[in-house]
Amino acid sequence: MIKLESVTKRYGSRTIIHDVSFSVSKGEIVGFLGPNGAGKTTTMRMIAGATTPTSGRVTVAGLDMATHNHDAAQRLGYLPEHPPLYDVLDVTTYLRFVAKVKGVQRHAMQSELDRVIAACRLEAVVTREIYKLSKGYRQRVGLAQALLGKPDVLLLDEPTAGLDPGQIQETREVIRTFGEHAAVLLSTHILPEVTLICQRVAIINGGRLLAIDSPVGLQQASEQTNNVLIEASAEAGSLREELLGVQGVTAVTVTALPNDLVRAECQVEAQSGIEARIARVVAVRWSLHRLERQQPTLENVFLRYVNQTSQQREAA
């Protein structure tokens, strides 16, 4: 339902998006992760047809956004980072206006409004002018307008921004339910959100797609995020040498601590029993004060990819 093929976007001599390719299928929710300025919003704007790629191809529901922009736009709902709200209108009037623009038929208008108002929990504010709404309610009105017309594709740029924990949970349920029958691309900084509702995760930084896989797949693929952290009363150089001799330890970073303690972060292979081998080696010569196994998480996988890209750009 969403397909990007070697998409590049330039503004003058500056390249914002570099040769990005990925797809989102019907019934799939894909999380789009990246730090500020990574290129998430620009990519979404190209998918929505708000801007065009410099090169490459974007298709929505099989329609090329370069040649069938209008037809493709009718198949998608879009919640940009800043929802397109008209402050002087009340919530119902605004949603009715959007529904008319989207081509919702008159006989289906009221049932469609009732559907999105209930889904986004807007019953308490339907007659209130938008300028009087809190940020959380404004965000929910933005989500409601994206859902109008039952689009095949849903683009959500930071959909839970400004919501309280209860509203975030409700919004997740709306997205999860909608994603059963449509293709959803969800931009967010909230990593737990991705693991809860997304089937796949795309990581972008500096306009480059770094990885795309399931949350579990990214964790399993990132053995470099398996670490064992220890603290011991030891001499730093000798401790590092001993740890590098342990089977399964691939790298060691040693830091001096107060009170003659040393902290060692051991990058290890994904295998069982390695903590016990490290503990035995350390305890033979020194006092072991702390040992902790740090399993890979989506958060440190994300940070590893982003930091790795930043280092490569600096080196270049």
Q: How many residues are listed for the chain in this entry? A: 316
Q: How far is CA 235 from CA 35, 70, 250, 259, in A?
A: 38, 68, 20, 12
Q: How confident is the model at residue 20 (pLDDT cuts 50, 70, 90)?
A: very high
Long-range CB pairs of 214-223, under 8 A, 24+ apart, other chains included: 215/31, 215/298, 218/298, 218/301, 219/296, 219/297, 219/298, 219/301, 220/270, 220/296, 221/301, 222/296, 222/300, 222/301, 222/304, 223/269, 223/270, 223/296
pLDDT score of 316 more than 70: no
Could you report the per-residue pLDDT of 182-224, keeping only the tens digit for each?
Answer: 999 999 877 777 888 999 999 998 899 998 998 888 876 665 5
In this structure, of 221-225, 232-236, 269-273, the range with the lowest mean pLDDT score is 221-225
The reported pLDDT for the residue numbered 190 is 77
Could you report the per-residue pLDDT of 303-314, keeping only the tens digit for each?
Answer: 777 776 666 666
The reported pLDDT for the residue numbered 267 is 87
Highest mean pLDDT among 35-39, 79-83, 106-110, 132-136: 106-110
Pick the CATH number of 2-220 from 3.40.109.10, 2.40.50.140, 3.40.50.300, 3.40.50.450: 3.40.50.300
In this structure, of 90-99, 254-263, 269-278, 292-301, the range with the lowest mean pLDDT score is 292-301
Delimit the domains of the chain by residue range: 2-220, 223-295
- pTM: predicted TM-score of the whole model, two decimal places: 0.77
The average pLDDT across 261-286 equals 91
What's the mean per-residue pLDDT of the chain? 90
Q: How confident is the model at residue 140 (pLDDT cuts 50, 70, 90)?
A: very high
Q: What is the CATH number of domain 223-295?
A: 3.30.70.260
In this structure, of 61-65, 117-121, 191-195, 219-223, the range with the lowest mean pLDDT score is 219-223
The average pLDDT across 149-167 equals 89
Q: Which amino acid is at 196?
A: L
User: Residues 151, 182: contact at Cβ < 8 Å?
Assistant: yes
